[in-house]
Amino acid sequence: MIQSNSGVRPHFLRAVGWVLILSLTVTCRTPDHQDAKVAEAAPDALVNAKYIAQCGNSQLLFGPSTSQAKGGAAVAVAAAGARGPSRKTTDFGSAVQAIFTQQRLMKSGGTKACSDCHNPNSDNGTDSFSNILNFDDLRSKGVVTQISPTQSPLYKILTRSGGYMPLGGKDHLSSDELATLVQWMNAGAPGPEPSSPTSFGFVSNADETACIVADLHKLPGEAQPFARYLTLTHFYNANLNANLELNRQALAKLVNSLSLNPVISNPLAVDPLRTIFRIDLRALNWTADTWSQVVATSPFGASNGSADAAAIAQLTGTPQAFLRGDFFIDITSKPPLYYSILGIPDTDLALEQQLFIDIAQDIANQTVIRAGFRQSGVSVNNRMIERHSTTRGYYWKSYDFATSSDNQNLYAHPLDFQKNGGEIIFSLPNGLQAYMLINAVGKRLDEGPINIVQDKKRIRDGFTVLNGESCFGCHVSGMIRHDDEIRPYVLTNPALFDANTKATVPGLYAEAARLTQAFAEDEQRYRIAVEATGYSVPTDSIDQIFQVAYGFEDSVGMSLAAAEVGLTQSDFLSRLQQHPDLQVQLGFTAAGGVVTRKTFLALFSQLTQQLNPDLPPSSTTGTPPSLASIDDLVAGVFGGVSVNTCNATVELQKTKTADGWQLSLKSPGAPGCDAFQRTYRCDHAASTCLSVDTSLTHLDVLATNRFAWNTLDNAGSPFEYVSNTGAGAAP
């Protein structure tokens, strides 16, 4: 970011349209008096400057500052605040919101949250529980009670004999969750606390890019080409705090699950809201081409075309250095990108050669650990799993079957079985796991055959096992423990087997203690690596990556749709109503509504073009916001020096010229501030606009329609006039 000539951190001016006359209340600061008079103005005029002023984290992910985690996973030492403080335990509103939106396993397969049924767009909710996330509604209907909360209708329906809700659920609310509900009702059933200071307000697309520019400028020049960014700002703007935290966890776990680096290198939050995360390609053993493959799949289009976006492209050397975080989780947790990023080859033999594993030799030497069993959470028929040791840790391979008869019956053929496919789970260098599905001849698959394996959580997709996504969802704690049933069966039925089988089976199919020890060691290795990402292994049997990736395809409500476009919900609806063709396709009205993710993505390009989130709300009304308190805008610029202030009206006019544009400022002055009139001329290629008079040396162009300028008052002290009116079209 270009600095002003005084060395003071610049702030931002945004002008709208080709010609604009704007009245501003400004404060001139001199270090001679202590009284401060704050101009009254719209608070939203402040939010961008405050937000951007706190952007940028100079701590590198890549470098020598690493520590070796116990169990083999190395952990990058991240800057303070990379994960940020945990939520206050008194924020019962957010805790209850998380309970109601928590996906829970159903007896029929798949998952559901309370809010999936009990919402205004569902026919399943009763009148009293029709909007479970509207806490005001719950209070007004008497569903929750502050006095004797355990006697409230909500508590009773959740604790009926057998665990009545969720209806048809396999998972019910835990005792801790019920205790949280009681505490919440005792506190008056409050809504969620904001996930961040309310003074930041709505964060626009332009604010995102400005924040990234600020961060890039704090990195050493040699690090900038390797910086990439993943954003979750839309969850903050939509006030979806539970979704935001879930995505943070999934992002930290997934980027490391796509890394061949032995060091755990966590995404680093670079903004005060912890919604923009920087990754370093080198820290993940990725190349620029790796990132380009991901960006090429994005349905969200290119950057907003602003000068900030152009600066990001120039500094990083790529046209699109930032990407939506939840989309990244969805698209990279499944083939083809999952396989491509990790370099998983086309066959199991090629993978085993990469990992220096000789399956036949291990079996001959009886250094493998096998377990065979009739029932698995995934396999339709009997299954056998087999463990091999690697320099990285472990390599588990399953043998799956289309039937449980003839030579596909492990109990009758424990050595000479005929498999139809399998799953491979192997340690990454950092201690996390990678996955591969194969067919009968070891060829890599994207999806498992439905007649052999099924994922009961992916009910929307017909229970199809999808490599990566399904594997994350199933292997929450790493390897899934199973008791071996083959060894004891052979040993207790010796008359059924030949001499070779009776001699070989005990050496391959492990005794219980040995199998238990192998599972425990592998679980510990995985757990240590997960905890190195800053989070714990989930205790609710649902993995964060699976929840985000599978949930990304869910229907999109209006608040989230607006935030994804880059607008507030009210502004989104106001602009949408001017395009009835789009509104009818989305189905959004003042009462809300939902649209399928597929439809929303198909219309996304049209939405951004026609609703134009880069124009501020004021452009639709013709009344730009006034400038808010200069005390806040330049807070920190003058440190602890005592200053005096004055209020003055400044008229700003922006007009197009043949080779650029011209800015004119005029003020009648005020007590303590002289009257002035100044003019600047800028050409399209300029990074600094030259003054046509001598009062100001120059004006810094920070980005398209963003300016900051400095001058000297009569006492020779620097001060700034700053406007924050929203971005407009560049001349």
Spatial distance between the Cα atoms of 228 and 278, rounded to a whole number of angstroms = 6
Beta-carbon contacts of 179 under 8 Å, excluding residues fewer than 6 positions away, are none
pLDDT higher at 221 or 163: 221
Residue 355 is which amino acid? L
Beta strands in 33-183 (DSSP E): 66-68, 74-76, 104-105, 111-112
Give the model's confidence band at 722: pLDDT under 50 very low, under 70 low, under 90 confident, else very high. Answer: very low
Give the model's confidence band at 683: pLDDT under 50 very low, under 70 low, under 90 confident, else very high. Answer: low
Instruction: Output the CA torsion sign for 608, 610, 615, 617.
Output: negative
Mean model confidence pLDDT for the chain: 75
Question: What are the tokens at 150?
Answer: 């355990």
**For residue 57, what pLDDT is reported?**
66
Contact 552, 103 (CB under 8 A): no
Measure CA 476 to chain center.
Answer: 19
Spatial distance between the Cα atoms of 660 and 325, rounded to a whole number of angstroms = 37
pLDDT higher at 500 or 143: 500
pLDDT in tens, 626-680: 222 223 222 222 222 222 344 555 555 555 555 555 656 566 666 555 565 656 5
Q: What is the mean pLDDT of residues 603-631?
A: 54
Start-end of H helices in 78-147: 92-101, 114-117, 135-140
Question: Is the pLDDT score of 341 beyond 90?
Answer: yes
**Please, what's the b/e burial string for 372-381 (b: 16 or more CB within 10 A of its CB; e: otherwise)?**
bbeebebbbb
Beta-carbon contacts of 257 under 8 Å, excluding residues fewer than 6 positions away, are 428, 432, 433, 434, 472, 545
pLDDT in tens, 239-278: 888 889 899 999 999 999 999 999 899 999 999 899 999 9
- Lowest mean pLDDT segment, chosen from 123-127, 234-238, 440-444, 682-686: 682-686
Q: What is the mean pLDDT of residues 683-702?
A: 43
Angle at 50 between CA 675 and CA 315, to 5 degrees: 100
Q: What are phi and psi of 493, to 5 degrees?
A: -130, 60
Residue 592 burial (CB count, 10 A): 15
pLDDT in tens, 466-475: 999 999 999 9
Contact 80, 88 (CB under 8 A): no
Spatial distance between the Cα atoms of 143 and 151, rounded to a whole number of angstroms = 10
**For residue 509, what pLDDT is reported?**
97
**For residue 685, what pLDDT is reported?**
47
**For residue 161, what pLDDT is reported?**
61
Alpha carbon of 213 to those of 57, 210, 315, 325: distances in Å?
Answer: 11, 5, 9, 18
Query: Among candidates 728, 727, 629, 640, which has minimal Cα distance to 199?
Result: 629
Query: Among candidates 241, 231, 237, 232, which has minimal Cα distance to 195?
Result: 241
pLDDT in tens, 172-228: 788 878 888 888 887 778 777 654 444 678 898 889 999 999 999 988 899 999 999
- Lowest mean pLDDT segment, chosen from 268-277, 515-524, 699-708: 699-708
Query: Among candidates 602, 569, 601, 606, which has minimal Cα distance to 588?
Result: 569
Q: What is the mean pLDDT of residues 62-73?
A: 36
Give the model's confidence band at 684: pLDDT under 50 very low, under 70 low, under 90 confident, else very high. Answer: very low
Residue tagged 């706190």 (tokens): 54
Question: What are the tokens at 402?
Answer: 């289309």
Q: What is the mean pLDDT of residues 51-60?
A: 71
pLDDT in tens, 77-118: 333 233 332 333 457 777 888 888 877 777 777 777 787 788
Give the model's confidence band at 69: pLDDT under 50 very low, under 70 low, under 90 confident, else very high. Answer: very low
Element (H, E) at 225: none
Give the model's confidence band at 313: pLDDT under 50 very low, under 70 low, under 90 confident, else very high. Answer: very high
Q: For residue 10, is the peptide bond before it cis, meaning its omega torsion is within 30 degrees of 0?
A: no
Q: What is the 3-state secondary structure (H, E, C) of 252-290?
A: HHHHHHCCCCCEECCCEECCCCCCEEEEEHHHHCCCHHH
Contact 44, 632 (CB under 8 A): no
Q: Is the model's pTM score more than 0.75? A: no
Residue 263 burial (CB count, 10 A): 23
Contact 695, 719 (CB under 8 A): no
Q: Residue 448, class by beta-carbon neighbours within 10 Å (0-12 exposed, 13-18 middle, 19+ buried)?
A: buried
**For residue 724, what pLDDT is reported?**
34
Spatial distance between the Cα atoms of 453 and 439, rounded to a whole number of angstroms = 12
Contact 351, 343 (CB under 8 A): no
Spatial distance between the Cα atoms of 158 and 146, rounded to a whole number of angstroms = 17
Question: Is the pLDDT score of 56 beyond 50?
Answer: yes
pLDDT higher at 166 or 630: 166
DSSP state, 451?
T
